[in-house]
Structure 1
């Protein structure tokens, strides 16, 4: 039987575990064996965010197999509507969601995604960002997700789980948030900041667009740095030791930088935010959650817009 320790005691208990992270304590990344060890001595809340049902089955991926004691918290609970998936969940609705999952502000919480590839990691990073902004601490992402847990041949449970609700009330912090208004000021030069595009190159160059975006292109003055850079070539679902520190240094990311990470809907961008803020430890990194879907739909200035689309847009709106 596990017991619920304080966050400090939890962190101290993990000091003896080989956690893959910037510190020896809990998070921001934890490997499968370390989480297995932690479950024997402490009581972390494990949120399994895998969505959807198994192919040719009425059962969800969670029901087919999950980490013992985990709670099902599908990713879509933390996402906006179809027309703007990156939009923030209203604070009152987010409070209801976290209560229903049994989340409290001071209980150590681990986020588990499938661990399929680099794109899949973005879901865990976005949930981590949401929980951190909600005041939940300490936090960790299971490096490699459920796939890593199963590859380590660790135990799984099957079937549904009914969470024990909490009475948490959140106050969503804007410390790691960039709004459309903030980005407009950065573009206008009235607020400092460097805009980092986490998408694949085709999106940044204007040769592809998200279905919900009004136009292809990127933010004016943006810099291209795709989210997939942080992952090892041999294990594309894992962030390997030393990769983040090396890449941050090689690309000139460091303390004092005012960085804003964006993509199409705040998914890939959450990975860049997580790597730069939580792993590289750069203070002042913010996520623009609505990203290019929100920006383009508002009719704002774009860069790298293909000529024919740009000319049509100019004729219709008089805007670039």
Structure 2
């Protein structure tokens, strides 16, 4: 059944779709899928693959048969959107999407820019940590799908709830305690995924200015051409040019674990570096605990910059 006939069948029948289990990932599956590859997979495997949009205007257009799960559902509230949510919340979300542990699942962002990709990467990391086995992101997002001339739909999809049981794994996570321990032990690499102004303490958001003591800067946008993530060889070349080496443990962080999820995904899932972890709470939690910083301005400079930012917001 082609994607077009699948869309027609969806229009003629209920949108409640039960899942059937695949013994293994579909042919052609990888963590980063091109639109044409995803289209071929959907043509062959149809409802056995779950596609989920998380950003953009779902009702205005989406991949036929795809569901909707807004990014905010996967994030926490202020003061730290990067904080982990209760596992029971996530389990309920996954069940509502009809996803089992062995359901091949593709997360689709709108494709606006590199930052938008971070939403998909963060959801991918969350689902992997919860125990979903076969995951992928759509390179270029929905914008890439549309640009490739592939079919679109505006009808919402819903699914039979699954019986998914979440089992959280810390294999890809670094907590604040982990970061402090790695700093004390040495040998690990701390990678700040933020733009240089954040790393250098000139700009800040949510967290206090500066960066984690001993961190290196590897900006998330370095891995993109437009809104598309580059391939594994380019990722390794960019990382090595920035002085990154495959350390025993690598921790990717930013302000609230959004940009950092991009670096985690690029290095771990696409380039295949070992033991890359995401510091989900990132600088928002780290600086709240008064831990050692680099590039942190002194109190007078900090007060001056804060006042300047406040004044500039008035005009």
Q: Normalised by the size of structure 1, how large is the TM-score?
A: 0.84
Q: Following the alignment from structure 1 to structure 2, what is the Cα–Cα distance between the partners of residues 190 and 256?
A: 13
Q: Is the 8 A contact 1:99 1:167 kept in 2?
A: yes
Alignment pair present for 1:36 and 2:39: yes
- Gaps spanning 5+ residues in structure 1: where? 15-25, 52-60, 313-320
Alignment pair present for 1:261 and 2:258: no
- Gaps spanning 5+ residues in structure 2: where? 7-18, 304-315
SS at match of 2:151: coil
Alignment pair present for 1:48 and 2:53: yes
Q: Choose between structure 1 and 2: higher helix proportion.
A: 2
Partner of 2:217: 224
> What are the Cα deviations for residues 241-277 of structure 1, in whole angstroms up to 9, with x where unaligned?
3321322343454545311000000000000001110
Q: Is the alpha carbon distance of 1:218 and 1:73 closer, same or farther for their aligned partners in structure 2, counting shifts above 3 Å?
A: same
Alignment pair present for 1:237 and 2:242: no
SS at match of 2:185: coil
Q: Following the alignment from structure 1 to structure 2, what is the Cα–Cα distance between the partners of residues 173 and 252?
A: 29
Kindly report which structure 2 residues correspond to 1:81-96, keeping only aligned pairs within 5 A, or say none. 81-96=77-92
Q: Following the alignment from structure 2 to structure 1, what is the Cα–Cα distance between the partners of residues 166 and 186?
A: 28
Equivalent pairs, count: 284
Q: Choose between structure 1 and 2: higher strand proportion.
A: 2
Q: Note the C-alpha offset of 1:129.
A: 0.6
Aligned-pair Cα RMSD in Å: 1.9
Q: Select between 156-165 and 303-312 the one with higher mean Cα deviation.
A: 303-312
Kindly report which structure 2 residues correspond to 1:52-91, keeping only aligned pairs within 5 A, or say none. 61-91=57-87
Q: Following the alignment from structure 1 to structure 2, what is the Cα–Cα distance between the partners of residues 182 and 193?
A: 11
Q: Is the alpha carbon distance of 1:305 and 1:252 closer, same or farther for their aligned partners in structure 2, counting shifts above 3 Å?
A: closer
Q: Normalised by the size of structure 2, how large is the TM-score?
A: 0.85
SS at match of 2:160: coil
Partner of 2:22: 6
Q: Following the alignment from structure 1 to structure 2, what is the Cα–Cα distance between the partners of residues 48 and 148?
A: 13
Q: Following the alignment from structure 2 to structure 1, what is the Cα–Cα distance between the partners of residues 213 and 186?
A: 14
SS at match of 1:77: helix
Q: Following the alignment from structure 1 to structure 2, what is the Cα–Cα distance between the partners of residues 253 and 224?
A: 9
